[in-house]
Structure 1
Amino acid sequence: MFGYLNKHIQDSLAERRSRRTRLVTKDGRCNIEFGNIKYSKHFAFLADFWTTFVEIRWRFVLFFFIASFTLSWFIFGLLWYWIARSNGDLTWQNPPLDHTPCVDNVVGLTTAFLYSLETQTTIGYGGRALTPLCPGAVALLIIQSLLGAIINCFMCGVILSKISLPKKRAKTITFSDMAVISPKNGSLCLSIRVANLRKTLMIGSQIYGKLLRTNNTPDGETIIMDQVNIDFMVDAGKDNLFFVCPLTLYHIIDKSSPFFEMAVDTLHKKEFELVVFLDGTAESTSSSCQVRTSFIPQEIMWGYNFLPIISRSKEGKYRVDFSNFSKVVPVATAHCAYCFHNIKGHHHHSRDGHDNQGFEVIDINDPPNVTKM
């Protein structure tokens, strides 16, 4: 039991360390912070206040929503109180019986606040009404009505924009937990699986990757977070994907690939992060969005391949079994990319894997140049 607890604690600590060292988390958030920014730079966020309001957290949006309306009601309530006081309308001023007030039934601070609220929200209960005696009160009514409309439009626009942010659509795009390296179509490939959980398409989808690593130049300079382009594709190409069902993305490991120098026994000792991007436009909202995820060396399995997840029912419908989405099975694979290209029959066999024996795979005869799952 103590051995199990110790192993569980060690695994948890290792997972936390991997999270801290990631630039991009598995759910696509960037793990980076900015320091020593000059104070004057903060005014740039105020200049672009619309983007600032849309990007801040919901708790702050709700706070500003409540504060903006409440504060405007209170400030204009003070102004209405000042107008009533200047005209002698308040109760403690003992107005004469034939006195004509600027606003009927505004006789104190509470009634002035209520009239301000009723004016800006256009409620109009009928108990308090403006009289044409005071020109300043008429001007204040116009100013408050216009300012209230502006606040209402701005705050409603911010809330609507936050609700319809494209990154919410990105949450229904999911990547496999692991990446695999195995032979595919006569080449050694690094494969990743991606799925669209909605039936609506992602139009104009494009996939690409970046390998982030620390690189030392011949001049002795250390480049932190050096970026190398990683090309991904599917059998039907890499642009304008028909993303209606899960796809398997693969990167060919050839001499130009940064994975060419790696091997099965050195892969997990490397320090790098593979960030995968999928850009597309949501069919239902026409908004562009980007989905990101990352893989560290411990999340890349050499000598494995994904299990099939596409089958066809007796009624002729296509069925996706997401229980096999991230499951892999061992396959015969060369120990290294160099061995694969230069030493025939030099294969690495994995003994353990994750299989689903209860899943029945039905062969589907695909025509040429069609994406295969």
Structure 2
Amino acid sequence: MSKIPRMFPRTRMVNRNQQAQFDITIKGASHSHWQDPYHLLLTLNWFWFFVAIAFFYLIINTVFALLYLAGGDCLENARPGSFADAFFFSVQTMASIGYGAMHPKTNYANIIVTIEALVGLMALAMSTGLMFARFSLPSAKVLFSNVAVITPYNGVPTLMLRAANKRRNQILEAQVRVSLLRDEVTQEGEFMRRFYDLELVRSQTPIFALTWTIMHQIDKNSPLYSVTLESLIEEHSELVVILTGLDETVSQTIHARHSYIESEILWNQRFVHIFSKKRNGRWLIDYNHFHDVEAGEWGMGNGEWGMGNGE
């Protein structure tokens, strides 16, 4: 397999931000958010969602205000040519407020009111549906460690990373997959971006309530066997972690993802213990040290994951 030269600044393919897209630029294919407004409104954060709703609300009322002005003196008790009166009459009509101070006095105005009433009903239904859809979307609150470490486990160099359920409930039938993503060039000179699944010591748990140390033993069958830090950099390697499970509160499947690039994988390190027992006999989990690591003295070499011992 040919080496791949490093020509660009290091970026990760799988963004750690759960709301963000992959760090990929697409060319030659249409992928505008405006072609899928429903998905866009579901994925916006709450601040920009309310900004978008307010913006469309103002736009719709502005359009109908201009239509009322186009009809001339068609509103009773409205100042002729007053955009403010036409706009606030539109707001009252769309919201079915009906103060009675202003009302249509021509057939033209009655037709516009009829159309606006229908548009208002549809807008209210769509806004309510979007709010319900956003609240009902299942979301995972899973905390992953900032780094992954390499440390012996039963005498075998083992890749380890931590995950924790940040909610005070349980994730049932949780499953996790860890894949190695790296660039390769075939003997024919073709570039490929390939995924290699890593076999885990334990890939599922019936109840995920607290923390989970995810482990992959680096033996002769591991895609990580005998790789070095330099080869990880040359191949733009990345570890991708996908966790799924059933949220017991909403009875829906949730997903969480994370990734690690070569600078976030530490050799000869291990995670600091976060479990301790209090005087009353209850267990204590200290999340203040969830991401902390400490150096080990196991002689695993510097940046190479081979088994050693003559293998």
CA change 1:71–1:328 in 2 (3 A) is closer
Partner of 1:148: 120
Checking the alignment, whether the CA contact within 8 Å between 2:247 and 2:253 is kept in structure 1 is: yes
Q: How many corresponding residue pairs?
A: 293
Shift in Å, 1:68:
2.0
1:1-373 superposed matches below 5 A = 20-27=10-17, 29=20, 30-37=22-29, 41=30, 48-56=36-44, 61-83=49-71, 85=72, 90=73, 103-110=75-82, 111-130=85-104, 134=106, 136-159=108-131, 161-162=133-134, 166=138, 169-170=139-140, 172-223=141-192, 225-234=193-202, 238-262=203-227, 266-267=228-229, 269-271=231-233, 272-329=237-294, 330-332=296-298, 334-335=300-301, 336-339=305-308, 342=310
Q: Distance in 2 between matches of 1:290 and 1:333?
A: 37
Structure (1/2) with the larger strand percentage: 2
Paired with 1:47 and 1:259, the residues of 2 have a C-alpha distance of: 41
SS in 2 for 1:113: helix
Distance across 1 between alignment mates of 2:133 and 2:28 = 31
Distance (whole Å) between structure 2 residues aligned to residue 112 and residue 25 of structure 1: 48
CA contact (8 A) 1:280 1:289 kept: yes
SS in 2 for 1:142: helix
Contact 2:156/2:307, CA 8 A, preserved across alignment: no
* Contact 1:209–1:277 (CA under 8 A) maintained in structure 2: yes
- Structure 1 residue 269 displacement after superposition: 4.9
| Structure that is richer in helix per residue | 1
Change (3 A) 1:115 1:326: closer
Residue 24 of structure 1 aligns to a residue in which SS? Answer: coil
Structure whose CA Rg is larger = 1
Residue 118 (structure 1) shift: 0.9
TM-score, with normalisation over the residues of structure 1?
0.67
Unpaired runs of 5+ residues, structure 1, are: 1-16, 91-101, 344-373
Distance 1:139 1:295 in 2: 61
**Long gaps (5+) in structure 2:** 1-7
Secondary structure (helix, strand or coil) at the match of 1:270 reads: helix
SS in 1 for 2:220: coil
Aligned residues of 1:182 and 1:305 also touching (Cα < 8 A)? yes
Which whole-Å CA distance do the structure 1 matches of 2:126 and 2:69 have between them?
27
Aligned alpha-carbon RMSD (Å): 3.1
Q: What SS does the aligned partner of 1:338 have?
A: coil
TM-score by length of 2: 0.79
Indicate how the Cα distance of structure 1 residues 67 and 294 shifts in structure 2: closer, same or farther if over 3 A, else same: closer
Q: Secondary structure at the match of 2:68?
A: helix
Query: Per the alignment, in what secondary structure is the counterpart of residue 307 of structure 2?
Result: helix
Query: What percent of counterpart residues are identical?
Result: 28
Distance of 2:93 and 2:122 partners within structure 1: 14
- Give the C-alpha shift of residue 186 in structure 1: 4.8
Cα pair distance change 1:70/1:295, threshold 3 Å: closer
Select the structure with the greater relative contact order (CA < 8 A; seq sep ≥ 6).
Answer: 2
